[in-house]
Structure 1
Amino acid sequence: MRYMMTYDLMETARNTNQWLGATASAMASYPMFSAFPNPALNWMAAWGEVTERTYQRMVVKPDWGIRTFTCEDGKDHLVEITPVIERDFGDLLHFRVNGRKEQPRKVLVVAPMSGHYATLLRSTVKSLLVNCEVYITDWHNARDIPVSAGKFDVEDYTQYLVDFMREMGPETHVVAICQPAPLTLAATAYLAELDPAAQPTTLTLIGGPIDPDATPTEVTDFGRRVTMGQLEETMIQRVGFKYKGVGRMVYPGLLQLSSFMSMNSERHSKAFNDQIMRVSRGEASDHDAHNRFYDEYLAVMDMTAEFYLSTVERIFKNREIARNEFVVNGHKIDLSKITNVAVKTVEGANDDISAPGQCIAALDLCTGLPDSKKASHVEPGAGHYGIFAGRSWRDNIRPLVIDFMNSNVRKPKRASKPANKNSAA
């Protein structure tokens, strides 16, 4: 599998399916056929339209689509997305609302690098923009990063987070969603020990695999069943000649997408069949619920091979975070060094990816943190996606997270008054 030809063949198959959809849509929509109404032609045109869009969006990075924000003055203010730090493998972005006074909470959202772009958290960002200054990690597609940029594994990812937190300062509230939760916890402990002045105020971990073995799921079982050699042989490919990262070893986004889809194949099949019927009846629209969801869900990115393999081996198989044995650049991280950062975990009762028990394990690992600075929440009826982007997030979880931030704001230290040595003064 580790050949450019395999990568290019997969891209060719995707491109062919997109072309087949476009061809079917064009042929079945030929104006002359309107003189001979035929439901089969309507279905064919609908199938082509849905198929073309499905395969086309797999290689397109979605736009943030956050252009304006309505403030308390009732006016729409432009939102400027500006890079604060730009790196080869990811940037730190700031969503700045022009003309609005700075908000009391500075929030860093750590987006997952698990096959989707950071834009998957668009609704999360929108909900926080209401009363927060929002920053986010925007990871790059590995296929577009030249080999000359070097490697990028879990240690490099952690170091990026350390640098981002240092840049933002100690008044930052960090929210890590899903995959980056264990590495964000490690980055916080790194700062707590080596640069305590830069450690954030609060850390909220949402649906992350801190201890994958606490509550096994299909995802964690897969990591146990497959050896690292099998993963490297079957999942890793070299980027083809079409992209800047030609020759780079990656875990292709299309392979990751196939894994996502297979976990709920019946649900996805029904969703696409229903959409085809809606299009054939003229009931679909460009921005209906189906297209809004799948425009984001199907847009996938490649991960560097070293990041994917080190995540499976060190986070899932060896459980280095769960055993407090994680090492970054030769320095052993000690989670007990977190003594002044309030930590909250959020889990979904119906989460089938990171089941309840995996994330809350972080609180037991923070042995140096008093109970008054620990909090946890399990959202009833919520799945993995719902705990950070659905109704459960909007109605229940977000208010709890904001309250947690507010109740743990550090009071600035008062400067000590210098002693007056002049007794006559």
Structure 2
Amino acid sequence: MKYMMTYDMMETARNTNEWLGATARAMASYPAFSMWPNPGMAMLKAWGEVTERSFARMVAKPDWGISAVPDMDGKDHVVSIRKVVEKPFGDLIHFRCIGRHERPRKVLLVAPMSGHYATLLRKTVISLLPDCEVYITDWHNARDIPVSAGKFDIEDYTLYVMDFMRELGPDTHVIAVCQPVPLTLAATAYLAELHPEAQPRSLTLIGGPVDPEANHTEVTDFGRTVTMGQLEQSMIQRVGFKYDGVGRKVYPGLLQLASFISMNAETHSRAFTNQIIKAAKGEAGDHDKHNTFYDEYLAVMDMTAEFYLSTVERIFKAREIARNDFVVDGHKVDFGAITDVAVKIVEGEEDDISAPGQCLAALDLLTGLPDEKKASHLEPGAGHYGIFAGKSWRNNIRPLVLDFIDANSGPRGKVRLSAVT
């Protein structure tokens, strides 16, 4: 499948479905049809609206949609997004609250590169903004990056995170969510060896596969059983002529989306059927619950082939992080080099993506870190999404993380034990 033709065929199918939806919506909206009221026309229009919107979202990068943040002074402060570091495959951005005194808590959110944009963490950002200066890694869609920009694999990802940490300085508190957890841990360890003065104050790792074999899920079973040759032949394509990254080998976002939906096909089918019925009744809204969720869920990005394949091969199959055998730029990273960065693990009891134990394995790797600087939390009844953006995050986990940050904001080597357990 490593051909531009297959990539363009998928884009053609998406574009055709978007056009069909727009055509159905426009045709059913002709005033002449109103002379003969027919529920079939209302359903056709509703189907067109939902179909057009859904297929259009697949190639649109979502907006952050964060306009202002309330403050304790009773004022709403306008949020301005500023690029701090610009790189070919991703930027470091800052959510600056205009007119507000700078918050003492400086937080770097390391967003996943796993099919969706960094805006997947929108709710996480919104929840932290009142209390923190929030920075986030904003990864770019591989289809928009020219081949001349070179490769981007898990080693490059790790080096990017290192550069972002160095830019923000040693008073930073890092929160990594899901896929980047093992690579953020590696970036911190590498930084501890090369530039110890630039290490962050604390590291909060949320639901990531440090050791995929610690507790099996469908994700880990897939990574263990499929061969690399099968993956490359079935998942990798070259970007077509429509985008700047023409010719680049990628794991296409549309192919990823098909996999996401197939895992819960019945649930998604029911959701879209119900939305069409609501639209036909005039009960659907532009920002209702369905559209708010699917505008984000359907917006997918291509990953570079080397990043996807190296993740499966080195993180899931070879377990290089779990075995403390990870090499970056020719240098073997030693997790024991982390000696004074407080580390907290957060897992969800019902997480079926990165099951309990996979992230907790990080603490066993930190042989040079005192026990009083290690902490963990297992959130009862929480799934994968809930531990960083859902009710569990808002009500239980976020306060614990902020307490952990505060406990480790003083001079290095000092920590309040009660705040990290």
TM-score over 0.5 (shorter chain): yes
Query: What is the alpha-carbon root mean square deviation over aligned residues?
Result: 1.0
Structure-2 separation of matches of 1:22 and 1:254 = 20
In the alignment, is the contact (CA less than 8 A) between 2:155 and 2:329 conserved in 1? yes
Partner of 2:264: 264
Structure-1 separation of matches of 2:348 and 2:35 = 54
User: Offset of 1:412 from its aligned partner?
Assistant: 6.7
Structure-2 separation of matches of 1:191 and 1:241 = 40
Structure-1 separation of matches of 2:384 and 2:39 = 39
Show the 5 A alignment for 1:227-238: 227-238=227-238
Partner of 1:126: 126
Partner of 1:419: none
Structure-1 separation of matches of 2:269 and 2:193 = 49
Structure-2 separation of matches of 1:32 and 1:289 = 33
The alignment status of 1:5 with 2:5, answered yes or no, reads yes
Code of the residue aligned with 2:139 in structure 1: it is W
The alignment status of 1:187 with 2:187, answered yes or no, reads yes
Structure-1 separation of matches of 2:412 and 2:348 = 35
Code of the residue aligned with 2:176 in structure 1: it is A
Structure-1 separation of matches of 2:199 and 2:378 = 26
Structure-1 separation of matches of 2:239 and 2:100 = 44
In the alignment, is the contact (CA less than 8 A) between 2:191 and 2:199 conserved in 1? yes
Code of the residue aligned with 1:278 in structure 2: it is K
What are the superposed Cα offsets for residues 361-419 of structure 1, whole Å, 9 maximum, x if unpaired?
11111111111111111111111111111111111110010011111223279xxxxxx
Does 154-163 or 372-381 show the bigger shift? 372-381
What are the superposed Cα offsets for residues 230-278 of structure 1, whole Å, 9 maximum, x if unpaired?
1011100000111000000000011111111111111111111111111
SS, match of residue 59 in structure 1: coil
What are the superposed Cα offsets for residues 34-60 of structure 1, whole Å, 9 maximum, x if unpaired?
222222221111111101100000000
Structure-1 separation of matches of 2:185 and 2:231 = 26
Partner of 1:319: 319
Show the 5 A alignment for 1:380-419: 380-411=380-411
SS, match of residue 368 in structure 1: coil
What are the superposed Cα offsets for residues 65-124 of structure 1, whole Å, 9 maximum, x if unpaired?
112122222122211111110000000001111111110100000000001110111110
Partner of 2:417: none
Show the 5 A alignment for 1:93-112: 93-112=93-112
Closer, same or farther: CA 412–214 of 1 in aligned 2, 3 Å: closer
In the alignment, is the contact (CA less than 8 A) between 2:340 and 2:412 conserved in 1? no
Consecutive unaligned residues in structure 2, runs of 5 or more:
414-421
Work out the percentage of aligned pairs sharing the same amino acid: 75
The alignment status of 1:141 with 2:116, answered yes or no, reads no
SS, match of residue 58 in structure 2: helix
Partner of 1:346: 346
Partner of 1:223: 223
Of structures 1 and 2, the larger Rg is shown by 1
Code of the residue aligned with 2:19 in structure 1: it is W
Structure-2 separation of matches of 1:198 and 1:14 = 46
Structure-2 separation of matches of 1:71 and 1:392 = 23
Structure-2 separation of matches of 1:407 and 1:70 = 25
Structure-2 separation of matches of 1:410 and 1:234 = 51
Show the 5 A alignment for 1:15-414: 15-411=15-411
What are the superposed Cα offsets for residues 206-226 of structure 1, whole Å, 9 maximum, x if unpaired?
110011111111111111121
SS, match of residue 246 in structure 1: coil
User: Offset of 1:147 from its aligned partner?
Assistant: 0.4
SS, match of residue 62 in structure 2: coil
Closer, same or farther: CA 78–155 of 1 in aligned 2, 3 Å: same
Structure-2 separation of matches of 1:325 and 1:412 = 28
Structure-2 separation of matches of 1:37 and 1:84 = 56
Structure-2 separation of matches of 1:345 and 1:395 = 17
Structure-2 separation of matches of 1:178 and 1:204 = 11
Structure-2 separation of matches of 1:411 and 1:340 = 10
Moved >3 Å (runs of 4+): none
User: Offset of 1:194 from its aligned partner?
Assistant: 1.5
Code of the residue aligned with 1:319 in structure 2: it is R
SS, match of residue 213 in structure 1: helix
Code of the residue aligned with 2:5 in structure 1: it is M
TM-score under structure 2 normalisation? Answer: 0.97
